[in-house]
Amino acid sequence: MARQGLPLELITDDQDFTHEWLREGQVMGCVTTVKQPLRGCRMVPLGAMKYVAVGETAYVEERLPRGLTAHNFRELPFIAFNRKDDMQAEFVARAFRLKRVTVQQLFVPSSEGQVRAVLAGWGLSVVPELLVRELVAQGRLVNVAPQAAVAVQLYWHCWNLQSGVLDQLSAALESAAAATLDRN
């Protein structure tokens, strides 16, 4: 699309809220966790993105010698995308079977920025596994709760229009998702 000289604007938001941009008519399509398509839209299941909790190696060695537990998570800052992002608390709740979880949070509004903040030793973060896979393999990051991962189902929603541009974008997203996401 961009290579073809077509105007393109990517808007980032928490995946639980992107469908609001579509509902309000501000975007032509969105990737979201919402399964139900809006009226006048089509929906395509993309697959599941796996999220893991990571910390910088020296930080983890110093602050978490026994790993992340139900007893020590409150002592550590978690780096979240924004104030809408509940992935950090959701991950801890699922990992340790807790009902109500509150975590200390710092906000960095990009997934790549969250990873850079973790590498700088700011705290822990729950991020897409595919984003940190190589850094974990290199030993720069540590998966602090390897027994736990959160799989988030993602869906592509777009207006049901006759549009070659929208069809190309949809095809590109579906192809990328098929190559990277789990198809469960």
pLDDT in tens, 103-140: 999 999 889 999 999 999 999 999 999 999 999 999 99
Residues in the chain: 184
Q: Report the phi/psi class of residue 165: left, alpha or beta, with left for phi > 0 and alpha for psi in -120 to 50.
A: alpha
* Band of residue 1 on the pLDDT scale cut at 50, 70, 90: low
Q: Which CATH number fits domain 49-150: 3.40.50.2300, 3.40.50.300, 2.40.37.10, 3.40.190.10?
A: 3.40.190.10
Element (H, E) at 19: helix 18-23
Per-residue pLDDT tens over the stretch 83-106: 988 999 999 999 999 998 999 999
Predicted confidence at residue 14, as pLDDT, reads 77
3-state secondary structure 156-182: EEEECCCCHHHHHHHHHHHHHHHHHCE
Q: Which residue has the higher pLDDT, 25 or 125?
A: 125
- What global pTM score does this model have? 0.86
* Band of residue 152 on the pLDDT scale cut at 50, 70, 90: very high
For residue 184, pLDDT over 80 is answered with no
Q: Which CATH number fits domain 18-48+151-180: 3.40.50.2300, 2.60.40.1120, 3.40.190.10, 3.40.50.1000?
A: 3.40.190.10
Q: Which residue has the higher pLDDT, 178 or 21?
A: 178
Q: Which residue has the higher pLDDT, 66 or 144?
A: 144
For residue 7, pLDDT over 80 is answered with no
